[in-house]
Amino acid sequence: MFTSKANVIFQEVIEKYHIINTVDQPFTNPYNEDTNLLEHLLYRKSWIDTVQWHYEDIIRDPQINPVAALTLKRQIDASNQDRTDMVEYIDSYFLGKNINIEVKHNATINTESPAWGIDRLSILALKVYHMNEEATRTDASESHRNACQKKLEVLLEQRVDLSTAINTLLNDISSGDKYMKVYKQMKMYNDDELNPVLRGQK
């Protein structure tokens, strides 16, 4: 099943990141774009999410230097754009893969595309990893560990459900029971022409 592969890659990324465990570490993708495009995209997507997860931790430091916080905010903005771009690349992959599928006359469209489901699955992998850290922290109280273990169990159940839903959607698309579209994210605040603040500075 597709999500079995995706979840393994997400775990691979998260473990790789935490070897050095710093947001400014170099990135290398072990999957070749020409021969393993889907794996390449999933690995890159998960890396972006993992770095951004830690950006979000850092910026919540109440003692952070305001100048450093502004710099980090810009990095988070850029990361969000990269994340959105990767979602569109992954959806384009699935759209191309299914381009010759005959869509049934009663086919329906899903509320979200496959890649936006995959986006949630990638974030869920990070939640599972870090909640497990909290559930096994030796310097935390037993009540803290127990509470986090219960949350971890819910997250693991959620991952099973989400993985099943994504696999079902992909199967429905490949059988023509559902169809998909790729809607380019029309984010206005990053556009020099659409953001009035940026437009006014031209």
pLDDT at 194 over 70: no
In this structure, is residue 122 part of a structural domain? yes
| pLDDT tops 80 at residue 132 | yes
| Mean pLDDT score across all residues of the chain | 94
Q: Which residue has the tokens 């429905």?
A: 172
**74 found inside a domain:** yes
Average pLDDT over residues 41-51: 98
pLDDT at 74: 95
Please indicate, yes or no, if residue 98 is contained in any of the structural domains: yes
167 falls within a domain? yes
* 60 inside domain: yes
Is residue 49 a part of any domain in this protein?
A: yes
| pTM over the 0.85 mark | yes
pLDDT higher at 198 or 55: 55
Specify the pLDDT at position 67.
97
- What's the rounded mean pLDDT across residues 98-103? 96
Position 8 scores a pLDDT of 98
Band of the pLDDT at 187, cuts 50, 70, 90? low
Nearest Cα to 98, choosing from 175, 35, 196, 16? 175
Q: Give how many domains the chain has, as a whole number.
A: 1
Helix/strand/coil (H, E, C) string of the chain? CHHHHHHHHHHHHHHHHHHHCCCCCCCCCCCCCCCCHHHHHHHHHHHHHHHHHHHHHHHCCCCCCHHHHHHHHHHHHHHHHHHHHHHHHHHHHHHHHCCCCCCCCCCEECCCCHHHHHHHHHHHHHHHHHHHHHHCCCCCCHHHHHHHHHHHHHHHHHHHHHHHHHHHHHHHHHHCCEECCCCCCCCCCCCCCCCHHHHCCC
Q: Measured between alpha carbons, how far is 71 from 201 in angstroms, rounded to an integer?
A: 20
Residue 143 has pLDDT above 70, yes or no: yes
pLDDT of residue 184: 72
Stretch 143-159: mean pLDDT, rounded? 98
Could you identify the residue written with the tokens 């850029």? Answer: 78
pLDDT number for residue 183: 77
CA within 13 Å, CB half, 94: 27
Structural domain including 74 reads: 2-187
* The token pair that represents 39 in the structure block: 């794996």
- Percentage of the residues of the chain whose pLDDT score is greater than 70: 93
